[in-house]
């Protein structure tokens, strides 16, 4: 599940130090949410926050989701629309 900039902001240290190259922390957070910057740019992130952000940005494996072709089957096991 993708996180919003605000959700990412809550996980990062509120130093506003600029060490990442972004003038203020919300800018870094929105860049991370949009996939336009990398998490490694923040030198002060905790290991716990890093793990949460990496987990949230990792796409699910093909076998770990609901839906897809199997969700299209009706009660008889046919892959057509219900009558």
Q: Tokens 């949009």 identify what position?
A: 34
Q: How far is CA 44 from the centre of its chain?
A: 20
The structural domains of the chain, ordered by start, are: 5-58 (1.10.15.40)
Which of 62, 58, 45, 43 has its CA nearest to residue 8? 45
- Is the pLDDT confidence value at 71 over 50? no
- Is the pLDDT confidence value at 57 over 90? no
pLDDT digits (tens, 9 = 90+) for 21-52: 888 899 999 988 888 888 888 889 999 999 98
């Amino acid at each position: 599940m993708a996180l919003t900039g605000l959700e990412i902001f809550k996980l990062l240290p509120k130093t506003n130090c600029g060490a990442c190259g972004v003038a203020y922390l919300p800018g870094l957070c929105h860049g991370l949410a949009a996939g336009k910057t990398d998490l490694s740019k923040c030198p002060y992130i905790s290991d716990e926050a890093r793990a949460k952000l990496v987990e949230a940005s990792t796409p699910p494996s093909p076998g770990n989701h609901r839906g897809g072709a199997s969700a299209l089957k009706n009660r008889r096991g046919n892959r057509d629309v219900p009558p």
